[in-house]
Amino acid sequence: MAESTLTKPRGAWRIRLEPRLDEPSTALSIGVSVGAVVVALILGGIVIAAVGGNPFVSYVYIARASFGSLGVLSDTIVKATPIILTALACSIAFRMKLWNIGAEGQFIMGAWGASAIVLAPVLPAETSRWLFIPVMTLAGLGMGAAWGLIPGYLKAKFNVNEIISSLMLNYIAVSWVNFWIFGVWTEGGFQMSPKFPKGAELPRLSDFASSIPFFRGLTTHAGLLFGIAAAVVLWFIVYRSRWGYEIRLIGDNPQAARYAGINIVRNTVLVMALSGALAGMGGMSEVAGVVRRLQTAPIAAGYGFTGIIVAWLAKLNPLVIIPVSILFGALILAGREIQPSGIPKMIQGIILVCLIASDFLLRYRIRIVKVGEE
């Protein structure tokens, strides 16, 4: 593939591909990613036009409905919060070339774990927020980690393909939550649990509106702080710690890692558990900060899959994940009101296709040369 074998007459121009020997510059790398997203939006626009919509109206609508005012910007950040955590979850696993596609299920189980503290109930309803939130967070982290540990353990012990096992666990998690909200914690036969008591809610900006009037009506909740803190911690783990170095080495060159005496089996289990814990924390933040009850549809809304795309677009860099998540939060927020309803999902898929295709430009230099002058 590196050399096209087409023979053309002398003097003709042809495209020549040369593998890049050096790392592509940051500017090129960012440029290619932005270009890929633009191409994806154009392709998405063509499909929207094909089904009889107006792509310009749709895109302007998305921009306005997600960034047009402080209120909607706050809603965009609310949508971005779970994506930050699932994208962080995917990024640490992908860094080790562990394809955790199960962030969705780990997110759902994290939400269930946090809800169980309220609904079982482990803690009484009048418990203080200062006890409720930490215990719920631990439960979310723990359930998410457990759900990530299963494919990690199976991979380490039996070499079971983690893509499929983690994906199957997504479906099991949905059925598990359905069982609890239909059968055990149902509120008067509806498919949802009762609302959480005040102490089990993550505070929103609007909760402080009595002292700071500027915050009136703003829905951004404390889960965002979880996301930012997790991103910073993960950045230090990946780029500044010995463990992070091991993870990166296993991902880049497992052979070299093995020779260096790095325990791949142990790291597989640990990284999958960490990945699951991050996703589980996202689930906790979503039930406690937004939904405030256990309910399937708003929890199993595909944040785990969006996280995969965001992690990839951010080149697995934890800090870059935050702004990218906000862009995808905007897409999801505005997409709720766009018809047909599958459009945000379709655009996300097209973006990932264009991104993965655009990687080619980072690995090869494209030159146009004159035949005979090579």
Q: Which residues bind other proteins (CB under 8 A)?
A: 1-3, 47-48, 51, 99, 101, 154, 158-161, 163-165, 167-169, 171-172, 175-176, 178-179, 182-184, 305, 308-309, 312, 339-343, 345-350, 352-353, 355-357, 359-360, 363
Q: How far is the CB of 356 from other proteins (least distance, A)?
A: 5
304 closest CA partner among 40, 91, 33, 41: 91
CB of 345 to other proteins, least distance (A): 4
For residues 162 and 151, the answer to whether their CB atoms sit within 8 Å is yes
If the CB atoms of residues 199 and 304 are measured against other proteins, the closer one turns out to be 304
For the bound state, the minimum distance from the C-beta of residue 168 to other proteins, rounded and expressed in Å, comes to 4
In whole angstroms, what is the distance from residue 327 CA to residue 170 CA? 25
- Using an 8 Å Cβ cutoff, are 163 and 90 in contact? no
Residue 47 or 72 with smaller CB distance to other proteins:
47
In whole angstroms, the minimum distance from the beta carbon of 274 to other proteins comes to 20
Give the separation between CA 138 and CA 121, rounded to whole angstroms: 15
207 secondary structure, DSSP code? G
Nearer to other proteins, 99 or 132 (CB): 99
Q: Write down the least CB distance from residue 72 to other proteins, Å.
A: 24
CB 219, CB 239: distance < 8 Å = no
3-state SS, residue 210: coil
Nearer to other proteins, 218 or 321 (CB): 321
Minimal distance in Å, beta carbon 302 to other proteins?
9
Q: Are 283 and 112 in contact (CB under 8 A)?
A: yes
- In the complex, what is the shortest distance from the CB of residue 330 to other proteins, in angstroms, rounded to a whole number? 17
- CB nearer to other proteins: give 169 or 277: 169
Q: Which is nearer to other proteins, 48 or 321 (CB)?
A: 48
Q: Measured from the CB of residue 206, what is the shortest distance to other proteins in angstroms? A: 33
CA distances from 186 to 115, 161, 172, 199, 200 (A): 13, 36, 19, 20, 18
136 vs 352, beta carbon nearer other proteins: 352
| Residue 315 burial by Cβ neighbours in a 10 Å radius (0-12, 13-18, 19+) | middle
Three-class secondary structure assignment of 116-150: HHHHCCCCCCCCCHHHHHHHHHHHHHHHHHHHHHH
Closest CB to other proteins among 49 and 256? 49
Residue 100, H or E segment: none
My answer on whether omega of the bond before 203 falls inside 30° of 0, hence cis, is no
169 or 274: whose CB is closer to other proteins? 169
| Closest CB 357 distance from other proteins, rounded Å | 5
Q: Which two tokens stand for residue 79?
A: 């949508």
Rounded to whole angstroms, the Cα distance separating 115 from 293 reads 7
